[in-house]
Amino acid sequence: MGGGGSHARTPRNAPAPALSWSHPGVDEAIEHAKALIADSRTAIVVSHESPDGDAIGSSLAMGLALEAVGLSVTYFNVDPLPANLRFMDPHGRYVRTLPEEARFDLTVVLDCSERHRVGKQFPLQGWSERLLVVDHHVTFDPDFAKVFVHDALAPATAELVYRIVSALGVELTPELARALWVGIATDTGSFRYQSTSAEAMELGMRLLATQMDVWEVSSHVYESQAIERTRLLARVLDTLWVAPGGRLAVLTLTDALLEELGCDASLADGFINHARSIEGVEVAAMLTGSETRGYKVSFRSRGRVDVSALAQLLGGGGHKHAAGCFLEGKAAEIRARLVALTEQL
């Protein structure tokens, strides 16, 4: 490395430094969260089904922080971790079932603010009397929990978790920094999306100061793809449909194709971005499922269209740049509905 100046490093055993920007509403909510944590001895952390980088990164970081202040933590998701994110759980912390006798003092829900988003298979014994929600999505159920650490302007839930980590006085270890980095980097598109803020860049600086291995993380997340994923991508790209005028692009991933190739739907994470990258496209959608089972519909926006508003019209939710819903019907019928609705936004 060149240059004559010194580079600041986070000292070993030092608590995570606070970010420069203060948000009074969030800061007050974090104080309530600290009180819940202080009164707890056991906790379960869970994020939404079909977890992405921010869901996994923020929930893993939250769990590590809780462990650091003395809680026994269970890491849960109804779905398996995507292939490119399994490196984040080398010790096999995550579970998908709970013993009948399992009980927890605290349930922490990350990256979603609605009960159904954690999945229908989430066990009843996973819900405790104390419920803490940490999320940055626009759509949320205010009756879901008494304590929300919520900020729709945050670029990722990972940023809010970092604020909690700092408030708890937890050491910012490379493992914790890695989890937070995956959350902030994936939800900002590697710091390319409009959600990339000065706060996001400052957080990135704090995490890099731990000397975490950025290339190791990036190579796993972006450049360690199974050959089955590449073959699946080729077939899904063949389904590309662009609406007249070129403003909407749709990809379709059917259950039949997954069965034919012997693939899991998690391998298709990020495919939707290929549709969004087409010049002139403002909204990209990806349909996953079948006509008999229904389709999970994911949306991505270039920024001019708020896809959370689109998703809400269809019974779903999300935030401005990424949202989703579930629809029944034939793929062609769903595409027609999307065309009509996007023309109104």
User: What's the CATH code of the domain at 81?
Assistant: 3.90.1640.10
Q: Find where tokens 């939710």 sit.
A: 317
Using a 10 angstrom Cβ sphere, with 0-12 exposed, 13-18 middle and 19 or more buried, the burial of residue 121 is exposed
Q: Find where tokens 């999970």 sit.
A: 296
Statement to judge: residues 118 and 261 lie in one domain? no
Three-state DSSP at 329 gives coil
Q: Two tokens at 171?
A: 């050491």
18: in domain: no
CB contact at 8 A, 263 and 295: no
Q: Which domain holds residue 293?
A: 227-342
CB contact at 8 A, 38 and 169: no
Q: Find where tokens 């936004």 sit.
A: 345
Would you give the DSSP letter of residue 85? G
Statement to judge: residues 197 and 244 lie in one domain? no
Q: Based on the structure, what is the number of domains in the chain?
A: 2
**Rg value, the chain, Cα:** 20
> How many other C-beta atoms lie within 10 A of the C-beta of residue 114?
17
Question: Which CATH number fits the domain that encloses residue 320?
Answer: 3.10.310.30
- CA distances in angstroms from 160 to 27, 60, 134, 340, listed in the order given: 10, 13, 7, 36
- Nearest 5°: phi and psi at 219? -65, -35
Give Cβ neighbours of residue 56 (< 8 Å, ≥ 6 apart). Answer: 47, 77, 81, 85, 88, 179, 182, 183
Three-state DSSP at 315 gives coil
Q: What is the pTM for the complete model shown?
A: 0.80
Between CA 204 and CA 208, with CA 206 as vertex, the angle to 5 degrees is 70
307: in domain: yes
CB contact at 8 A, 167 and 56: no
Distance CA 66, CA 74 (A): 10
Q: Find where tokens 């005028």 sit.
A: 245
- Nearest 5°: phi and psi at 284? -110, 145
Statement to judge: residues 207 and 232 lie in one domain? no
Using a 10 angstrom Cβ sphere, with 0-12 exposed, 13-18 middle and 19 or more buried, the burial of residue 248 is buried
199: in domain: yes
Statement to judge: residues 164 and 272 lie in one domain? no
19: in domain: no
17: in domain: no
Statement to judge: residues 80 and 200 lie in one domain? yes
Statement to judge: residues 208 and 97 lie in one domain? yes
8: in domain: no
Q: Two tokens at 334?
A: 């769903």
Residue where a domain stops, chosen among 174, 205, 221:
221
Give pLDDT tens digits along the chain (345 positions). Answer: 334 333 344 444 578 888 877 777 899 999 999 999 999 999 999 999 989 999 999 999 999 999 999 999 999 999 999 888 999 999 999 999 999 999 999 999 999 999 999 999 999 999 999 999 999 988 788 889 989 999 988 999 999 999 999 999 999 999 999 999 999 999 998 998 888 888 899 999 999 999 889 999 999 998 888 899 999 999 999 999 999 999 999 999 999 999 999 998 888 988 999 999 999 999 999 999 999 999 999 999 988 899 999 999 999 988 888 899 999 999 999 999 999 999 887
Statement to judge: residues 217 and 192 lie in one domain? yes
Statement to judge: residues 256 and 109 lie in one domain? no
Statement to judge: residues 211 and 240 lie in one domain? no
